[in-house]
Amino acid sequence: MKVNRSTIRLAKWVIGRDKEEGASPPIREVECTTCMEKSPAETNQIDGDIWALQHTGRNGHTGYREIVTSFLRSRPAEGKPVGGRDQEQGTS
């Protein structure tokens, strides 16, 4: 995709959690730090927790790492329209 860099430079940008309609929620996995086996990737916390507790019961492993994948989106900052003038300071 070709990016029009001059348009991007005219705005102040922010990045944060993707809140667009249909955006994926964060995805969570729990990984055993002893054997590196992982829970299935899920969008809820309870499934990974249950997996870890069952894994502890089966193997005696007690250390886990939480891996969370969050989806971000960049957008022009509020009050800083693309191609417009800076509404707070009067500069572009």
**Residue ranges per domain, the chain?**
18-74
Sign of the torsion formed by the C-alpha atoms of 33, 34, 36 and 42:
negative
pTM value is 0.67
CB neighbour list of residue 40: distance below 8 Å, 6 or more residues apart? 29, 47, 51
pLDDT tens by residue, the chain, 92 residues = 555 554 556 668 899 999 999 999 999 999 999 999 999 999 999 999 999 999 999 999 999 999 999 999 998 888 755 555 444 444 44
